Structure 1
Amino acid sequence: LRSKAAEAKLAAERTAMIERDFSWVASEKASFGKGDYDFSKHDIPKLKTEYERIETRVGELKGKVNQKCIDKLEKAEREYEELTQKRKTVANDRERITQVINQLDDLKKVSMEKTWTKVDEDFGSIFSTLLPGTQAKLEPPQGATFLDGLEVRVAFGGVWKESLTELSGGQRSLLALSLILALCRFKPAPLYILDEVDAALDLNHTQNIGRMIKQHFPESQFIVVSLKEGMFSNANVIFRTKFVDGVSTVTRTVPSAAERAMRGPIDELSKGSKGQPSHGTLPAGRSALRDANR
């Protein structure tokens, strides 16, 4: 009896120590022997033997295992988690950037189509003004879209040319000038300077340039350098340059509306003193400057 009483006392002390060391025991001990705490089906002596064997093996390996490896493993795991998080961040950023790129591509397509439509319209209108009886357009190559590029097509009398090589030098000059001015029409500037753009053209075409400027660029001012009289029939102001006793002189003339309507080409600009071509300029929304001292 004394032996059993001693064992009971020892068991009570160990129980009190366990409850003190593990706070959950006090709250869970009412469930002991039930559910997850039912150990009746387990071979306690066998489990104790296995535990002691493992403890012995751990003791044998204690001096052989590098304890720093555990620290290194924990460090490697932390780095892995950080890299995984960074990878997720990069993936999310990539997805957002891709969405922005797609949105910009869509806006680019809309903007390019709008630009093409406006430039194509002005291109045809300007070219038909410079060269009456003609048509011009910008269109994608056969089987392609405007995003793949545009080709220049020209028609005379309703018949479309197969190649621009069929055009004369003057016609190609007017075509190039029409395209440049059509691009300018998309976002007009307040001032333009044209330097002898009519050099390869005859008088009729030169007059058409002045008419085209007046018709298509009402909000802009042009300074036009030319050696041909027809350019100035639509000018608002003319500056004439001529040599007098070896010195260049400049005179300013403001033609009246009646003079511009009746005279067409301004004959007095045809020559300066001593038979030399004169130098003039036409400012004001539809202006021209003529340079004879070249």
Structure 2
Amino acid sequence: GKSLNISFCLQVAKMLKEYQWIASDKAHFGQPNTHYDFKSSSPKEASQKLQKLQERKEKLERNVNTRAMNMLSDVEERYNDLMKKKRIVENDKIKILAVIEELDQKKKEALDIAWKKVNEDFGSIFSTLLPGARAMLAASKAHNVLVGMEFRVALGNTWKENLTELSGGQRSLVALSLILAMLLFRPAPVYILDEVDAALDLSHTQNIGQMLQTHFRHSQFIVVSLKDGMFNNANVLYKTRFVDGISTITR
């Protein structure tokens, strides 16, 4: 009997240690109208109920995927990894957009500088080639130089609506003026003009020669021409002749 009591006491002590709720609820043990009032309970019914619950538990366990928690852990890990990569991509996107915006701004500034300089030289060169006339590069109807630009030409005080209103020679001077204005913006070591005055009047040829002298003082030009108006403005003349089937050059 003594050993049984010792065993019982050890078991109670073990239960008190494992189940901490016993110490807080033991005052209610056997008290009526509490969860621990077992007078109206039948041990047999309780055993049957426990058996049914156990069977139900075993049945549910057969339908439960025991690997689900491990799978959930793997999925959560992949999800967290993807979210981390997503944040990296989003941050990179913000940086890229900032760089694009900065480059767009620099592009607009560079284009605005080029437009103003070329436009100024374009008008000056055209007025030299065709005295009394004016020309300019204007922003397109959208008022945005990035979208496009259009020619505006005035003969006297009349601004032409379209280049088709100009003669062929006048259109040639517009094109030549724009090309030379762009060359002033980005100078080259030497320029070669091959009979650019072929379809122009003699007065226009003379004006081209004068324009090269005034606008390109520090540039070198090799000009091929058959008209005296161009020769008169040259620093050095080379004359070519074809004699007896042989080309000769004299200075």
TM range (shorter): 0.7 to 0.9
Query: What is the number of residues matched between the two proteins?
Result: 234
Q: Match for residue 107 of structure 1?
A: 106
Q: Match for residue 68 of structure 2?
A: 69
* Separation (CA, whole Å) in 2 of partners of 1:123 and 1:68: 79
Residue 95 of structure 1, CA deviation: 1.6
For residues 236-293 of structure 1, what are the alpha-carbon distances to aligned partners after superposition, in whole Å with 9 as ceiling and x for unaligned? 22221112332111112xxxxxxxxxxxxxxxxxxxxxxxxxxxxxxxxxxxxxxxxx
Q: Secondary structure at the match of 2:200?
A: coil
CA RMSD of aligned residues (A): 3.3
* Separation (CA, whole Å) in 1 of partners of 2:214 and 2:198: 22
Q: Match for residue 231 of structure 1?
A: 230
User: Which 10-residue stretch deviates more, 177-186 or 4-13?
Assistant: 4-13
* Separation (CA, whole Å) in 1 of partners of 2:83 and 2:97: 21
Residue 163 of structure 1, CA deviation: 2.3
CA contact (8 A) 1:139 1:151 kept: yes
Residue identity matched to 2:9: A
Q: Match for residue 81 of structure 2?
A: 82
Residue 15 of structure 1, CA deviation: 6.6
Q: Match for residue 250 of structure 2?
A: 251
Q: Secondary structure at the match of 1:219?
A: coil
Q: Flag the 1:211–1:64 CA change in 2: closer, same or farther, 3 A.
A: same
Q: Percent identity?
A: 50
Q: Match for residue 185 of structure 1?
A: 184
Residue 14 of structure 1, CA deviation: 6.0
Q: Structure 1 regions of 5+ residues with no counterpart?
A: 19-31, 253-294
CA contact (8 A) 1:130 1:209 kept: yes
Q: Match for residue 91 of structure 1?
A: 90
Q: Match for residue 26 of structure 1?
A: none
Q: Flag the 1:13–1:197 CA change in 2: closer, same or farther, 3 A.
A: same
Residue identity matched to 2:132: G
Residue 60 of structure 1, CA deviation: 3.8
* Separation (CA, whole Å) in 1 of partners of 2:68 and 2:200: 89
Residue 70 of structure 1, CA deviation: 3.2
Q: Flag the 1:12–1:158 CA change in 2: closer, same or farther, 3 A.
A: same
| TM-score of the superposed pair, with normalisation by structure 1 | 0.68
Q: Match for residue 8 of structure 2?
A: 7
* Separation (CA, whole Å) in 2 of partners of 1:80 and 1:180: 60
Residue identity matched to 2:110: S
CA contact (8 A) 1:154 1:160 kept: yes
* Separation (CA, whole Å) in 1 of partners of 2:195 and 2:26: 111
Q: Flag the 1:239–1:41 CA change in 2: closer, same or farther, 3 A.
A: farther
Q: Match for residue 127 of structure 1?
A: 126
Q: Secondary structure at the match of 1:180?
A: helix
After TM superposition, the structure 1 = structure 2 runs for residues 138-177 of structure 1, keeping only pairs within 5 Å, are 138-142=137-141, 144-177=143-176
Q: Flag the 1:238–1:58 CA change in 2: closer, same or farther, 3 A.
A: farther
Q: Secondary structure at the match of 1:145?
A: coil
* Separation (CA, whole Å) in 2 of partners of 1:113 and 1:39: 86
Q: Secondary structure at the match of 1:234?
A: coil
Residue 146 of structure 1, CA deviation: 2.3
Residue identity matched to 1:168: S
Q: Flag the 1:52–1:39 CA change in 2: closer, same or farther, 3 A.
A: farther
Q: Flag the 1:150–1:232 CA change in 2: closer, same or farther, 3 A.
A: same
Residue 131 of structure 1, CA deviation: 1.0
Q: Secondary structure at the match of 1:182?
A: helix
Q: Secondary structure at the match of 2:209?
A: helix
For residues 3-39 of structure 1, what are the alpha-carbon distances to aligned partners after superposition, in whole Å with 9 as ceiling and x for unaligned? 65543333445677x6xxxxxxxxxxxxx89xxx966
* Separation (CA, whole Å) in 2 of partners of 1:51 and 1:91: 56
* Separation (CA, whole Å) in 1 of partners of 2:36 and 2:248: 126
| TM-score of the superposed pair, with normalisation by structure 2 | 0.79
* Separation (CA, whole Å) in 2 of partners of 1:163 and 1:83: 59
Residue 143 of structure 1, CA deviation: 5.6
